[in-house]
Copies of this chain bind each other. A is one copy, B any other.
Amino acid sequence: MRKSMPQNRMTIQRRIIIEELKQHNSHPTAEQLYHIVRESLPRISLGTIYRNLDFLSKNNIIRKLDIDKEQARYDAVIKEHYHVRCIRCGKIGDIFNLPKTDIEKEVGKLTDFVIVDYLPEFKGICPECINKTKSEELKSITEDKKENI
């Protein structure tokens, strides 16, 4: 059963946070969203941003992304999709429609854990950073990973 919209209070702060997050598909950090929201609500505090982002992700209204080790990022798109992080500038891109595989079943055979979730993440170079990169350099980057055992 799907969780329903929570019975909790829709404050102006909460409403604007949701609206701005829907407007900004760039997977902003709490701090970035704080600056965005302050343009309409100059007195909002960072604590309120954090409390609401936490509340909203726990209620499946938004998604919290752990793709960046330093700062959490937030995404208003709930539909299943995955993310690429640019190794140059940190920008996060979306990956929709990843083909289904039986990887969880496969992994279940390789461990004594019961697998309940699969979280693929990708690293890459975004279009803007590709343009700044010399082509030979780019070639060596994509081959780097074969270096490890």
Which residues of A line the B interface, CB within 8 A?
1-2, 60, 66, 69, 78-80, 82, 84, 86-87, 93-99, 101, 103-104, 106-107, 110-127, 130, 138, 141-142, 144-145, 147-149
Contact = CB atoms under 8 A, between A and B. Distances in A.
Contacts of A98: 106-107, 110
Most chain B CB within a 10 A radius of its CB, from A110, A112, A144, A147: A110
B120 A124 contact: no
Instruction: Count identical subunits in the complex.
Output: 2
A1 to B, nearest CB: 7
The A interface, classified by DSSP as helix, strand, loop or mixed, is: mixed
B114 A130 contact: yes
A99 B94 contact: no
A96 to B, nearest CB: 7
A88 to B, nearest CB: 10
Nearest to A147: B2
Given A107-B95, A111-B95, A125 B120 contact: no
A113 B96 contact: no
Contacts of A130: 114
A22 B65 CA distance: 32
Contacts of A121: 118-121
Given A78-B149, A116-B144, A120-B120, 11 more contacts: A84-B111, A84-B113, A87-B116, A93-B111, A98-B107, A98-B110, A113-B126, A114-B125, A117-B123, A118-B120, A118-B121
